[in-house]
Structure formats: structure tokens, C-alpha cells
Structure 1
Amino acid sequence: MALFDLPLPELEKYRPTTRKPPDFDHFWTTTLAEAAKHDTLVEVTPTPTGLALVDTWDVTFTGFGGHPVKAWYSRPSGTAGRPLPAVVEYTGYGRGRGLPIERLLWPAAGYAHLLVDTRGQGGQYGSGGDTPDPVGSGPSAPGFLTRGITNPGTAYLRRLLTDAARAVDAAAALPDVDDTRIAVVGNSQGGGLAIAAAGLNPAVSALLASSPLLCHVERNITITDAHPYAEVVQYLAVHRNSTAAVLNALSYFDAVNFAPRTTAPALFATGLRDTICPPSGVFAAFNSLSTEDKTIDVYPFNHHEGGEAHHNAHQLAWLHDRFGT
């Protein structure tokens, strides 16, 4: 893929005026208050994995609407009784939590690790998911972005982002977690969820978002045909009179609108040839962050894969510097 977005010098100062509803903060304060009426109810069950150096538990916590959300909690063996900093990780679009032996980077680095399942997803790739989305939807395009999307109150994304924020509370309640050191991490959809969680939950003390989805959505649906943004285009191609309602609803879930609420140190990443999560959206969110402690790694010749293991190495060093592990 050739370069298609703004030149890097323009990206570095790109901070557009985006659609932000006047009741954005009230909407999320109300949404989280409704979710908080349901106790987090973190249930933890030991899970044998065959791994000698990592202990794992099957976790259930209460997300949006009191619905149960699944997760894997893993930590280095032999660290019981010693509070560890935690990493809450969110998965990519279409992926579920999979098997507990799949994501071992963070526990291997000495962190308590909560890998959060994604409601309704898990059937596109990976090893599946275990969290249903019990809420119905009106007509939508195949996928998840347009489910209930004509009204922010009924949108699938409202439930998903609330789950992400609640997962931080669940991590803080887990055995032997240092609740003063909780990082949120994610790639693609997971990156967008991490930004939202950091903007919604003040317990987050570090944010790591790579090639994040849901950044400057209104621009992205005009510059890329890649999925999942193509779901919005497909929906509007059929529901021709719904454009205003859909764009208004999506603005309640746009990571650019959560970024100014984020004061935690942040490490972002983008590939300049990424058509799935275009770099202008990533920079729009990054440049809107309130924190002064922020870094973005740019991979000029990479698509959505970004820096892969090279970036993982930087993430480990960056978080070590801030959490002292």
C-alpha cells in the first residue's frame, strides 16, 4: 500500500475540530453511573494451562447492564501475596479472549495481566470468545459497528466501551494487584478501547494504544474502504436518510473525544500505510491527549501490523520506566 494519508509533518500537528456532542460528558457520566448500580462481582477460578511459570484464573466481572464479561487473569508463578502492577489488555476487532496460553508477553514481563473478552465477538479469527451480547439490535450491516447505531443509547459501542471501563475496576479488585499501577493496552479495536477506558476511568495510570480503531471515525469513512469502517459506509449506502443520526451517534464513541479526558502517560503507535486505522485518526487522538508524557512511534513503511515485536520491546521498556518493574 502506498502512502495515502497526510504527510508526516502535517500529521504531527494534526488536531482537527471533530464532532463532539454537547452532552458527551453527561452521556458517559450517566452511562457509568447506571453501570455502577451493578456490583463489579469479580469471580476468579483457577485454570490449569500446563504452563509452569504462569498462573492463570478464569475471571467473570459485571459489565454494561449487569451483563457478565469474561477475562483471563495471568501472573508469574510464585508471586502470590505480592501486589503487582497490572496490565488490562483489550483485543482486536472480531477476536475474543481465546485461550489463556496465547497472550503471555505481560505476565512473562512480571505484570498481573487481565485479558478482557469482547462481548459478542470472537468468531472472526483467533481461538474464539466466551462473552455473549444479550442485547438485540435493529437492522445493521454485517459486523458490530452499526448495531443500534442510529441512537447512542442503543449502540453496541456503548456497551463495549462501558465493559472496557469496568474492566479496570475488575483488575483493581483482583487478588494481589497494585491498584495504583494499572495500565490499559490494546491494538486496533483494543487500542480504541484502551483510549476510551483511560478517558472514562481515572484509575488508569498508563495508556498504550497501537493502531487504534475508533479515532476520527467521520474522516476515516471518507478516506478508506477497509473494514470495519466499510460497515458504516455499507449501512449508509442502504439507510440513506440516516447519515446525520449515525454520525452523531458515532461521535459519542470516538476516541478523539475521550483523549482530552486522559491524563495518564501514553505511548501510541501507527503505520503510515495503515488503511484499517488511518494515521490521521491516530494522530488526531494522540495530539488531543491532555498528558504531557506522551510518545508516538511511527512506522513509515508498515500497514496495520505496525511495529509488531519491535514495538512490543519499546512498550516493555516504556512501561518499566513508569511502573518500575
Structure 2
Amino acid sequence: MALFDLPTDQLQAYAPGPDEVGEAPDHDEFWATTLAGARDLATVPERTRVPTGLRAVDSYDVTFSGFGGHPVRAWLTLPAGAEGPLPTVVQYNGYGGGRGLPTEHLFWANAGYAHLFMDSRGQGSSWGNGGDTPDPVGHGPASPGQMTRGILDPHEHYLRRLQTDAVLAVDAARAMPEVDGTRIVVTGGSQGGGLALAAAGLAEGLAGVMADVPFLCHFRRAVDLTDAFPYQEIVQYLSVNRGHEEQAFRTLAYFDGVTHARRATAPLLTSAALRDMVCPPSTIYAAFNAYAGTDKEIVVWPWNGHEGGGGHMAPRQLAWLAERVPA
């Protein structure tokens, strides 16, 4: 795939302001109210040991309270016999995938970290090995997928629920006896990277953020720049629902990774691929350049698409964490 976005020097300087992203004046109030309401409904997380036949890790099926008190599933994976307190990685999944099987989530526990992998409500049927968390909230007319569910009202939009779940997953991790609540890092790729940025801007006391080729950044530029899905769900919706453009982008602005990044201070490791048509590099640089923390690094993959660094990011993440949140 050819290069299609801004030249590298312009990417490095690309920093759209709050007005260009459409930041809402009540963004902070909206999220403070949302999270307070969700926490008021939260109950103590429940977990059950899952026999996997593996000797190096202990796996648990976790259920915690997300948005609206709705049950959200997760896998907790610990180094075998660990009592803690352990540094912990909370991980979010890519778009369309579910939490899959416990035996798929072994990397971080084998590196000495506790690992909580959150299921994505209403997803899990596009790839991978399935999800276990329904989204019980209805919505108005929408295109297939998640991006336009409730798009005319930020209080009803799907991402309000999913990003709230991401923050409460951090709360759930802190409730685990093996977890050191002062050493929690959030991570994910694509949608998972976008959720990591949301958690970075909304959750308190994070020790690090690792957001690979993050989705959900600078919605307006993304839909104007790429023909790829999932951003094209928004275009598809607007092509049918003419006249909804202003309200749609006003809604999406509450969930934009650029706006969340302006409020995030934990150390950040992110990445961008210059041939990525799914999450265009300028949208990622917009979030990176807006990120309020000063300890931040972006890894650039000039020859890759949305796969980014793939498995090559893992050793970089381990080295980066070893300096900041050692196991």
C-alpha cells in the first residue's frame, strides 16, 4: 500500500486544536458524571479459577461492573502461585473481537505481570474465539457495527458504555488481592489502543499507557481521509441519514482519543504505521502531540499497514516497562 497521509515532518508537527477536533465544553463534566454514576452501581468483582492444564500461570474468569452496573467479563492471568502485589497490565481488545479463551492470554503473566484482559461488550463475532459480554442497551437507527449506535446523543452512544467499561476495568484490577494498584499499565491495539488512551485520560493513578496504532482518534479527519472500515461506518450512516452530520460529530467528540490525550499524564508508548488505512497516521499523531504527559514515545513503522509492528512491539514494550514498571 502506498503512502497516503502527510509527509513525516508534517506528521510530527500535526497538532489540531480542541476546536478542530470538536472538543465539547462540558467534556469533563460529562465524563465525571458518567463515571460517578457507573461507580455508584458497581459491585465487588467476582472471579472463578479456570483449569487450563498450564503450569506456569493461574487463570481466572472475572466478572466486574461496567457502565450501568452491567456485568463485563474478563480474564485474569497471574504467574503461577503469585501472591503479589504485582505490577499489572490491563488490556483492551481490537474492534470486533471478544475476550476469547484464557489460554490465549499468557504473555504478560509469563513476564511477571498480573494481566486483566477485558471483554468488549456487544462484540466478539467478527474474528477470534468469541466474546461473552452482551450490550443490553438499545439504540436508534445505525449502520452495521458499533460506531453509529446512539450517534445522535453522547449519552446514548455505544462508546460511552465501552470507554466507561475500560475505566472500571482498572478499578476491577485494583480490587484483586494480587495487584499493586499503584503500578497499573493499560494497553491495547487499534480499538484497544483507543480504549487505552481513553483510560489514560479518565482513570487516575496509572503507571503507564501502551497504545498501539490506536483507533478512535480525530474522527472527522479519519472519515475524510480513509475509505476503510470501521470509520466508514460513520460515512455509511451519514450517506443515508442526511443532515445528521453536525450532531453525529458533536457526539463522537466526547469519545475522541485526542481529547482524552490532552488530559493524560502517565508515561506513554504508542505507535503508528505510515501505510495504515484503518487508523491513518495523522490521527494517531494528533493524539500523540496532544498528550499532556512529557514521558512519551511513538514508534513508527514506515512500511506497514494496520498490523503495525506486530510481534516486534512486544520486546519494545517489555524494555519500556522494565524502565518504568519493572516486574
| TM-score w.r.t. length of structure 2 | 0.98
Structure 2 residue corresponding to 1:21, chosen from 20, 24, 49: 24
Q: 2:35 aligns with which of 29, 32, 35?
A: 32
Q: How far apart are 1:39 and its partner, in Å?
A: 2.5
CA distance, structure 2, for counterparts of residue 171 and residue 178 of structure 1? 9
1:73-222 equivalences under 5 Å are 73-79=76-82, 81-222=83-224
What amino acid sits opposite 2:67 in the alignment? F
In structure 2, give the amino acid aligned to 1:185. Answer: T
CA distance in 2, matches of 1:100, 1:175: 20
Q: 1:297 offset after TM fit, Å?
A: 0.1
Deviation at 1:103, TM superposition (A): 2.1
Q: Which secondary structure state, in structure 2, belongs to the residue aligned with residue 37 of structure 1?
A: helix
Whether contact under 8 Å (1:168, 1:203) holds in the other structure is no
Q: What displacement does 1:260 show?
A: 1.2
C-alpha deviation, 1:204, in angstroms: 1.6
Structure 2: gaps of 5 or more residues: none
Q: Which amino acid aligns with 1:181?
A: R
User: 1:227 aligns to what?
Assistant: 229
Classify the secondary structure of the residue corresponding to 1:12: helix
Contact 1:74 1:114 in 2 (8 A): yes
Which residue does 1:296 correspond to in 2?
A: 298
Q: 1:38: Cα distance to partner?
A: 1.2
Secondary structure at 1:303 match in 2: coil
Determine the C-alpha separation between the residues in 2 that align with 1:82 and 1:295. Answer: 29
Q: Residue deviations 1:147-199, cap 9 Å, x none?
A: 01111010011000000010000001112101110000000000000000111
Task: State the distance in 2 between where 1:27 and 1:299 align.
Answer: 36
State which of 36, 41, 45 in structure 2 corresponds to 1:42: 45
Cα deviation for residue 203 of structure 1 reads 2.6
CA distance in 1, matches of 2:164, 2:84: 29
Q: Distance in 2 between matches of 1:103 and 1:279?
A: 28
Which string of whole-angstrom CA distances, capped at 9 and with x for unpartnered residues, describes residues 224-243 of structure 1?
Answer: 01000010000000001100
Structure 1 residue runs without a partner (length 5+): none
Q: How far 1:84 moved relative to its partner?
A: 0.5
Identity over the aligned pairs, expressed in percent? 56
1:207-239 alpha-carbon deviations (Å, 9 max, x no partner): 000010001111000000100001000000000
**Partner SS for 1:301:** coil
Aligned to 1:97, what secondary structure does the other structure show? coil
Residues 286, 40 of structure 1: alpha-carbon distance in 2 compared, 3 angstrom cutoff? farther
Q: Name the structure 2 match of 1:64.
A: 67
- The AA in structure 2 aligned to 1:267 is L
Alpha-carbon distance in structure 2 between the residues aligned to 1:122 and 1:95 = 4
Letter in 1 for 2:4: F
Moved over 4 A (4+): none
Equivalent pair of 1:40/1:63 in contact (CA under 8 Å) = no
Residue 295 of structure 1: SS of its match in structure 2?
A: strand
> In 2 relative to 1, CA 83–298 (structure 1 residues): closer, same or farther, beyond 3 Å?
same
**Residue of structure 2 in register with 1:317 after alignment:** 319
1:55 Cα deviation from its structure 2 partner? 0.4
AA partner of residue 70 (structure 1) = R
Counterpart amino acid of residue 62 in structure 1 = S
Aligned residues: 324
Distance 1:124 1:203 in 2: 33
Counterpart Cα distance in 2 of 1:299 and 1:187: 14
The Cα RMSD (Å) is 0.7
231-240 vs 100-109, which moves further: 100-109
d(CA) in 2 for partners of 1:204 and 1:116? 17
